Structure 1
Amino acid sequence: MIPLDSEAPEFVDVMRSALLQISEDSDSWTRHIYPRLIVDVSDEFRFRRESSAPSGFIDWRSGEKLIESARRTLVAGAKFFLSPGRHFVNRNGRFASRYLDQVLMGQTAPGSYIVTAYAPPNAGISLSNSEAAGLLDVDMAHGRDVSKAVVRAVEATAEAVEHYRLSGSLSGFEAGVDRGISYEMTQALLGIAANSDGADITVEWDSTSGPTPLESTHFEFSGADAEPLGKAAVRLAEDKSSRMVTLIGRVHLLAKKQAGSPGVFGVEALTAGSVKKVRVRLADEEDYHEAIRAHEEDLALQVSGKLEKEGNLSWLYNATVIRTLGHVDEYQRRRTRGNDVMAGQMDLFNAESNAKGEGGELPS
């Protein structure tokens, strides 16, 4: 309790008590009080992931993934603020980048690993891509309105996940596109939930901004949510005007990324099918980083796109990276165990293959 009225008779005693408490708890001062004093008015997004590491720590790769997924969540919601879409690719990307430029990243908190984003509610984000527009007080979006769009999109996606738990249907994702569900948002939340022992997103609205205080918002996810989020990502990335396929394979080739190009890489299929190797041309440059990680760590990669043949080469155009499926050797061991299952039995170790089939290319 910090006294504000210096003229009050009890001011000195209450202030001494407050300062004594702060001096005896330096960790709270360092992690909670001081950062909020030096940061302007801001709405707070906390992305938390359970971690078996010591308090406030996480294994490096999981930490990188959580930060990337937190960024993708904010970007996907900001894109939705301008207009809904199943798969934005680069649409509304510049506006989302301008919103992200206003956001600060805070320190992790004790306990499970937490990434904190501070979004200023009073910031103005230009609705125009023109550099001159930022100098004029016109066509500006209010920072809090964009942050609210992020929350609405996360809420709609979380509700679609809950609908899938109850019904086994992806219809909730399809129906929720107008409310902010998109390929980009499902990908962002997939990165938070996958391989986790529990994760959540909490939003605290700054009470000093706006006439009416807003209630905090909390969304929880688990590792089991990776299945519906992954399936929904494939569904939302579909181009219904062409034949889309999904492949699972090893990244064996990385082409040098050209300026302004999302990137190209080669995939060697790990499952039987008509296509053994395919060149992948991405729709979104965000996915190229995941392909690099899959190549460096020898991870099985699930990718979806429009399959075409050019001479002796097979190409996957307008492609999207759905997710990584663990180390290649471990993935192949899981598939081998699945092949040993007798007719009429269910393979508990390879449920994904049971659901989608064992073909090297999976119709979307």
Structure 2
Amino acid sequence: MTQAEDPESSLVSLDSADLISLLAVAGWDKQGGRSHIYERWAVREDDELLSVLVPLDRTRDDYIDLLEEALSSLERSRLAGAQRVVSRLRAPGDEVQWQKEPHVVRGLIPWLHGEAMIASAKQILVAAAKAARHPSAYHGQREWKFAREYLEKVLMGQTQVGSYVVTAYTPVGQIRETEGASREIESSLSGTTTGRDVMERLTSSLIATRESVDHFTSTGSLSGFDAGIVHGISCELTRALSALVKDSDGARVSVIWSPVGRPPALSGSTWKMDFIPDDLPALERASSRLATTEPRRTVVIVGTVTNLSRPRLGQHGTIILNVIYGVAVSRVRVRLSRADYEHAISAHKEGDLLRITGTLEKEGNNYWLYDPTELGPVEAGAFNEMFGSVDTDLMPD
């Protein structure tokens, strides 16, 4: 029997309050007791009832004996409610689940999609671990050593009946075991990062992502993803979420907080966040935006209008500007308001050049001009006097 399976070693750090919290999360009901002495908890499944007595007074001589008896009852039982508690005791830590609704028979998933789902779950954990150390739009190889050390302490749990589920048990305490001078250096440079810190960064990043997706859906702006970087949003996270949601009817990430360790910042014993296929355009756009290494910059561009498109008449639209002067980029995409889009249509019909001021950003292989202002036509032959040189800081795409 390993240490993790040894009841006595499990009870060394187990407190009755921890066991009661686990019973409550697993769906057990309190069935009475004596104040400050013990509580009785029970669970009923089908026609079978199981109850355990949980001691409360650690000063009593029979405290450990009663805890051992309660744990033994849970381990002997085959009830799902009992096994959920035992699994949490054997793998202490925060429980994370990735749940996906694939387009097949409920509870099954195509093999390659299942592999991709596990890879997405891993990438989400890696992104959270890196962001817990250093929030960044694009992590790359930064903080990979810490992320690897974190993954080495994560355990994979069993799946569940119903939707396809990937389960992980994540550590609560300190990740790096440093001693002596190395511990002082670690603390002075970046402080101690715990597994609970990583889980809190995971939840904060998913909350920020959900808000940013909703903001993009209503406004067409990706600014929420930029603001959410400090909360853990990154290119790697949005890519992993895109892969998780793809080929499904929806996906969910949930966390069941372990009662061990300091209380999490979020209240409640459980937390969850849902994403749906309609979120994919925002997630994919955001991952391209966050992957860019070029700085945002305000530019003035002159070019010819082509590729006009908009959802329906009277709404905002998107154009592609073939750049003649302003920056060394051959094409720039611009999302315009209704009024500016009508001006772009007019310039396209008349064959006029269009002058636009905005913020130039690269998303994937495409350049976008955001927050366009000062949009207007430029007479043929006049633009050369207005713009004397091409911006060579950016190379053509």
Q: Same fold (TM over 0.5)?
A: yes
Partner of 2:293: 239
Partner of 1:228: 282
Q: Which is greater in Rg? A: 2
Q: Deviations over 1:170-229 (max 9, x none)?
A: 111122212211111111111111222011111111124336784222111011211111
Greater shift in the superposed pair: 202-211 or 107-116: 202-211
Residue 102 of structure 2 aligns to a residue whose secondary structure is coil
1:3–1:166 distance in 2 versus 1, CA, 3 Å = same
1:51–1:31 distance in 2 versus 1, CA, 3 Å = farther
Residue 249 of structure 2 aligns to a residue whose secondary structure is coil
Partner of 1:46: 97
Partner of 1:117: 168
Partner of 1:106: 157
Say whether the 8 Å CA contact 1:56–1:111 is kept in structure 2: yes
Partner of 1:163: 215
Structure 1: unaligned runs, 5 residues or longer = 243-359
Identical columns (%): 33
AA of the residue aligned to 1:90: Q
CA distance in 2 between counterparts of 1:126 and 1:107 reads 27
CA distance in 1 between counterparts of 2:233 and 2:40 reads 51
Say whether the 8 Å CA contact 1:31–1:107 is kept in structure 2: no
Cα-Cα RMSD: 4.1
How many aligned positions are there? 244
AA of the residue aligned to 1:174: D
How far off is 1:23 after superposition?
A: 11
Give matches, 1:193-232, under 5 Å: 193-210=245-262, 214-215=267-268, 216-232=270-286
Say whether the 8 Å CA contact 1:126–1:133 is kept in structure 2: no
How far off is 1:10 after superposition?
A: 10
AA of the residue aligned to 2:236: E
Q: Deviations over 1:83-134 (max 9, x none)?
A: 1111111011111111121111111111111111111212x12298x99948
Give matches, 1:215-294, under 5 Å: 215=268, 216-240=270-294
CA distance in 2 between counterparts of 1:63 and 1:116 reads 13
Residue 152 of structure 1 aligns to a residue whose secondary structure is helix
Q: Deviations over 1:290-330 (max 9, x none)?
A: xxxxxxxxxxxxxxxxxxxxxxxxxxxxxxxxxxxxxxxxx
AA of the residue aligned to 1:44: E
1:28–1:94 distance in 2 versus 1, CA, 3 Å = same
Q: Deviations over 1:260-302 (max 9, x none)?
A: xxxxxxxxxxxxxxxxxxxxxxxxxxxxxxxxxxxxxxxxxxx
Say whether the 8 Å CA contact 1:153–1:180 is kept in structure 2: yes
AA of the residue aligned to 2:112: R
Partner of 1:32: 84
AA of the residue aligned to 1:116: T
CA distance in 2 between counterparts of 1:27 and 1:81 reads 37
Partner of 2:137: 86
Say whether the 8 Å CA contact 2:103–2:248 is kept in structure 1: no
Return the TM-score normalized by structure 2. Answer: 0.52
Q: Does 1:191 align with 2:243?
A: yes
Q: Runs of 4+ in structure 1 displaced over 6 angstroms? A: 2-6, 8-16, 19-25, 134-137
Structure 2: unaligned runs, 5 residues or longer = 1-27, 53-72, 297-363, 369-397
1:32–1:89 distance in 2 versus 1, CA, 3 Å = same
